[in-house]
Structure 1
Amino acid sequence: MLRAWNRIARINQHRIFQWDLCSISSSPVSNTVWKEEEVAPVPDRAYYYHNRPEEGDSMYTVNVRAAPSRYYYSIFHKPLTEKFTRYILKKGRGDLADEIMCDTMRRIKIKQLTKYHNAPSEADRDDIELNPYVIFDKAMSNILPTLGLKTSTRAATVFHIPVPIADEAKFFMASRWVLDYCRGRRPKTPLSERLANEFLLAYNNEGNAVKKKQDLNRQVLANRAYMHIGWK
């Protein structure tokens, strides 16, 4: 009985080894998708703008592979806007998240244009920003925290230690403050309307998300005496 089990184990092991060889082997179909002489694309629109091909350049003679769908070359694409759109996403509804973000930018544009046309003088109109992407970038920069707090327990005492935060963590915290506040406010109002109002308030250094940042800064200042604990 033991010999039979050992023989079955060796056969299965041989089959698994053969399957691994087949899985890592390159098939003729995968090799014919892209040829070796074709060049991979550069995922940077500014690279092609500053390096325009001239006659006799390799860009005229060498084929470039198709760019993956995750690369964007549109002049309207902004990495931070795309990242915030991914935070809006729920249950894999990327189309809905894109629609909400586009509607948010549209509402910001309409609100600023209305304010622009209702301005009493030309000097007041010059101070009104009409580009929704500029408003979004400045609003997020006003919400980004400078330092964070880390909880540490020493001798049954809990300390809140101020620590630096990575850039990605700062943007995630700011996005979470904005989305948590907007999702908890008046569900009959469209989310794009709530986001537009919050971004316009944050653009003027106001709003709930900015208050969250200010509260965190006050906590950091109150616990600055424990900063040396994080170095040990």
Structure 2
Amino acid sequence: MAALCRNVTKLILREKRPICAILVRNSKYDSRYIENIKTLEELKQPIPPGDIRHYKKIKAAVTDDNSFTDFDPVVQKFINMMVKGGNKALARSHLEEAFEVVKRAQLESYHKASSEEMKATIELDPVVVFHQALENGEPLLIITKVVKSGQTYMVPIAASDKRKKFFSMKWLIEAGMEKDRSKRFYQQLGEEIVAAYYHKGGLIKKKQEMHKLCETNKAFAHLSY
């Protein structure tokens, strides 16, 4: 048996055939399964007689699926990006405390407003402020590396919706970490959310730096096609 293995090894090496393994990612749920229901409204509705759910197998709900009325997938995604060392509960508590900082800051501005018209323009919901802050920090253009003739170029391209949200969340977390020792992370994060809501702060600065980098490398924009 050992001699046979040696002969096979010599044959493979002599013919210089690469030895590789193809990893296939198998899913537990194939085409026989259908997606589950994720909204509370759909769960309350009766299943019609001809619905495929009577005879089709249904996928199990994943950990992040939630039928709670206040569930926000953007907030959930942001929490997942904040997680370090698998401690998701800590990341969730940090964001909740950051929302409290946002709420206090907006309430302070609300009570300092001199007229009812100004008070009506101040948003008090921290989740709405958070969404607007992320939207204000989304870049229109991003940089990608393109290799041409052995040379690497920094090429500006239009950012997709998915990449816009990713960079905005990433920069907001980085801005929250750029703090002095006198502030906790959630406090700095809350202040950055409020600042980005008013088009200020570290998130907006990082967005502007990305746009300046794209402006500097606009001569290579044709390489993206």
Shared topology, TM-score over 0.5? yes
Instruction: Give the 3-state SS of the residue equivalent to 1:144 in structure 2.
Output: coil
1:69 counterpart residue number = 63
Q: 86, 108, 132: which one pairs with 1:92? A: 86
Q: 206, 222, 225: which one pairs with 1:228? A: 222
Quote how far apart the aligned CAs of 1:220 are. Answer: 1.6
2:198 counterpart residue number = 204
Give the direction of change, closer, same or farther, for the CA distance of 1:67–1:176 in structure 2 (3 Å limit).
Answer: closer
Q: Does 1:113 align with 2:107?
A: yes
**Equivalent residue runs for 1:47-196 within 5 Å:** 47-48=42-43, 52-53=45-46, 67-154=61-148, 158-196=152-190
* 1:91-127 Cα shifts (integer Å, max 9, x gaps): 1111101100111112211221222122211111001
Q: Which runs of 5+ in 2 are unaligned?
A: 6-33
Identity score, percent: 24
In the aligned structure 1, how far is the partner of 2:98 from the partner of 2:92?
10
In the aligned structure 1, how far is the partner of 2:132 from the partner of 2:107?
18
Whether the 8 Å contact between 2:106 and 2:124 is mirrored in structure 1 is yes
Quote how far apart the aligned CAs of 1:204 are. Answer: 0.8
Q: 203, 207, 212: which one pairs with 1:213? A: 207
* 1:21-48 Cα shifts (integer Å, max 9, x gaps): xxxxxxxxxxxxxxxxxx9740234545
- TM-score normalised to the size of structure 2? 0.73
| Residue type at the aligned position of 2:39 | D
Q: Does 1:44 align with 2:39?
A: yes
Quote how far apart the aligned CAs of 1:211 are. Answer: 1.2
In the aligned structure 2, how far is the partner of 1:67 from the partner of 1:155?
48
In the aligned structure 2, how far is the partner of 1:208 from the partner of 1:107?
17
| Residue type at the aligned position of 1:218 | K
Q: Which runs of 5+ in 1 are unaligned?
A: 6-38
In the aligned structure 1, how far is the partner of 2:173 from the partner of 2:122?
25
Give the structure with the higher percent helix: 1
In the aligned structure 1, how far is the partner of 2:140 from the partner of 2:109?
32
- TM-score normalised to the size of structure 1? 0.71
Whether the 8 Å contact between 2:106 and 2:122 is mirrored in structure 1 is yes
Whether the 8 Å contact between 2:176 and 2:186 is mirrored in structure 1 is no
In the aligned structure 1, how far is the partner of 2:154 from the partner of 2:199?
26
| Residue type at the aligned position of 1:220 | C
